[in-house]
Amino acid sequence: MSAARWRAAARRRLRTLIAAGLVSGSALSAAAQETAPPDAPAPSAPNTPREARFEWDTARRWLFVTLAFRDVADAGVLRKLKLGLPTTIVLTGILYAQGSDQPLASTLQNCKITWHVWEEMYRVEVSRPDQQAVRQWSPTLNGVLRRCAQTERLPVAHVSQLPDERPLVLRVKVLVNPVSQELLQKIQSWISRPSNTTAASTGSILFSTFTGLFMTQIGEADRVLEFSTRPFLPK
Residues 86-118: tens digit of each pLDDT:
999 999 999 999 999 999 988 889 999 999 999
Q: How far apart are CA 8 and CA 16, in angstroms?
A: 12
Q: How far apart are CA 77 and CA 35, in angstroms?
A: 13
What region, left, alpha or beta, does residue 92 occupy, with left being phi > 0 and alpha being psi -120 to 50 degrees? Answer: beta
Buried b / exposed e over 59-95, threshold 16 CB at 10 Å, is eeebbbbebbbebbbbebbbbbbeebbebbbbbbbbb
The per-residue pLDDT for 181 is 72
pLDDT under 50: residue ranges of the chain: 1-4, 6-7, 10, 14, 17-18, 22-38, 195-196, 202-205
Q: What is the reported pTM?
A: 0.75
- Own/partner pairs, 114-121, CB within 8 angstroms, 24+ separation: 114/86, 115/84, 115/85, 115/86, 117/6, 117/9, 117/10, 117/13, 117/84, 118/1, 118/6, 118/9, 119/1, 120/1, 120/9
Q: Which DSSP state fits 44? A: P
Q: Are residues 147 and 138 in contact, defined by beta-carbon separation less than 8 angstroms?
A: yes
Beta-bridge mates of residue 95: 105, 170
The per-residue pLDDT for 13 is 58
The per-residue pLDDT for 190 is 63
Which phi and psi angles does 163 have, rounded to 5°? -75, 160
Strand, helix or coil at 150?
Answer: strand
Q: Is the dihedral of CA 144, 149, 153, 158 positive or negative?
A: positive
Q: For residue 65, give the H/E element and its range.
A: strand 62-68
CA Rg value for the chain:
19
The per-residue pLDDT for 199 is 52
Q: How far apart are CA 126 and CA 145, in angstroms?
A: 12
Q: How far apart are CA 65 and CA 32, in angstroms?
A: 36
